[in-house]
Amino acid sequence: MTSFTDRTKASLREALLDAAADLLPEGGYAGLRMADVAARAGVSRQTVYNEFGNKAALTQAVALRTASEFLDGIRQRFETADSLLAGIHHAVVYTIEHARENRLVAAALGTEAGEDLLPLLTTKGEPILTAAADLAAEQYREFEPGLSAEAAALLAETVVRLSLSHLVLPTHSAAEAADAVTAVLAPTIRQFGHNGVKR
Amino acid sequence: MTSFTDRTKASLREALLDAAADLLPEGGYAGLRMADVAARAGVSRQTVYNEFGNKAALTQAVALRTASEFLDGIRQRFETADSLLAGIHHAVVYTIEHARENRLVAAALGTEAGEDLLPLLTTKGEPILTAAADLAAEQYREFEPGLSAEAAALLAETVVRLSLSHLVLPTHSAAEAADAVTAVLAPTIRQFGHNGVKR
DNA sequence: CGATCATGTACAGCGCCTTGACAGCGGAGA
DNA sequence: TCTCCGCTGTCAAGGCGCTGTACATGATCG
């Protein structure tokens, strides 16, 4: 049983992340005021600093939590897939389609105020990329036990990078983007399944 | 916006009430140990005393919260009723039927260990009766604005007392009990709607 | 009758939120 | 360009509430 104080602290973090996630799409990173986050969460401004340290860390945490919500969806898509390739396809389609419906992502990609959030998906997107790639690699290996850890990691990072790229700079529909990803990677997956990474 | 500390305190109360409500059906009032409640909620025993004072008050609070859950259901039944009488009928049926499915109520009414909970519905049931009657009276007046406050209160208390009676000592099905209540009160309601309480 | 157990009370310790203050810094306007 | 203003980030003091412990009391059981 988790202690009450632990749950309290967790709910505090959630409340702060909720508040920041609500406010970020409106004014972007620059428009986000720590005092507003605190007020919306019903705590003092100092408490926000005690919990996250500074505005950049708070924003990064919001990004990571948003990403983890997507990862949950991706996990579900994988569970119902027939093959590794099909799972990847489903996951890519899901990611691209649902990301555009997400308020925060949509603001980062499409609005003037939110454009200073874009680095979270690109230049400062390493935490998200790593988190997503780690999960994906794990999923891949569960699906295809013959896959070596290195092969899974490489494959996962590639898929995530391609997905993010198609998300940030779309040139086709989500389904077409997924087609492209799977088409490119299909031979590689077959190869890895047999022999592991070739260098 | 409610402050974070307020929400924390509310969630503490909820956690304690959940814990007590889980434990009460197993051992009844006598078998409920404050230390177990505290442990299940993840707090210290002293915190339970700070919040509720003593075991009787904690148990009373559990009873009141359980009652309020029923009141929510009753409220919904009333919203979809065609007439005041039909609303009362629906509410009585709902109360009796769902009370027997409730773990806590079922334990109080039917089990050996839980029989020391019975006073909460009878001799020590005044808080529940008042709460239920107050809500019912309010509903009645919304339904039939011509009803005076006194008439609504009298009617409501009568319905609640009859419902509790049929619940504690069932001699017919829930529907038959509701039939009896509405049959008895139908003329009174017609009378009140026109002239108010006769003394 | 003595041991055990649970209730109820008291109190020191401590973590954490709040309040208030202040320095630094960058933007807006005169 | 200079000044004002707002926001960030930091610090110290204060208080509230949970924790842990101890103890008295009463009930139950062997």
Strand C and B57 CB separated by under 7 Å: no
Chain B interface test: which of A1, A2, A4, A9 (most B C-beta within 10 Å): A4
Only one residue has tokens 């009568």, namely B158
Q: Mutating which of B1, B2, B3, B4 best tests the A interface, going by the most A Cβ atoms within 10 A?
A: B4
DSSP symbol at B115: G
Q: Decide if B47 touches A, using CB distance below 8 A.
A: yes
Residue B195, pLDDT score: 54
Task: Count how many residues are written for chain A.
Answer: 199
pLDDT in tens, B99-123: 999 999 999 998 888 888 998 999 8
In chain B, the largest separation of any two C-alpha atoms, in whole Å, equals 57
Distance of CA B50 to the CA centre of its chain: 25
Q: Is strand C less than 7 A from the beta carbon of B5?
A: yes
Q: Residues B130, B176: contact at Cβ < 8 Å?
A: no
User: Nearest CA of chain A to the CA of B15: how many Å?
Assistant: 9
3-state per-residue secondary structure call for chain A: CCCHHHHHHHHHHHHHHHHHHHHHHHHHHHHCCHHHHHHHHCCCHHHHHHHHCCHHHHHHHHHHHHHHHHHHHHHHHHHCCCCHHHHHHHHHHHHHHHHHHCHHHHHHHHCCHHHHHHHHHCCCCHHHHHHHHHHHHHHHHHHCCCCCHHHHHHHHHHHHHHHHHHHHCCCCCHHHHHHHHHHHHHHHHHHHHHHCCCC
pLDDT, tens digit, 9 for 90 and up, residues A48-61? 999 999 999 999 99
Tens-place pLDDT, residues A93-115: 999 999 999 999 999 998 888 88
Residue A199 has pLDDT above 60, yes or no: no
- What pLDDT, on a 0 to 100 scale, did the predictor assign at position A197? 47
pLDDT of residue A20: 95
pTM (2 decimals)? Answer: 0.82
Which residues numbered 23-52 in chain A sit less than 7 A from strand D, measured from CB?
Answer: 32-35, 45-46, 49
> What are the chain B neighbours of A1 within 8 Å (beta carbons)?
39-40, 42
Please report the number of interchain residue pairs, chain A to chain B, with beta-carbon separation below 8 angstroms.
36
Q: What is the per-residue pLDDT for B198?
A: 43
Answer whether residue A66 shows pLDDT above 80.
Answer: yes
Is the pLDDT assigned to residue B199 strictly greater than 50? no
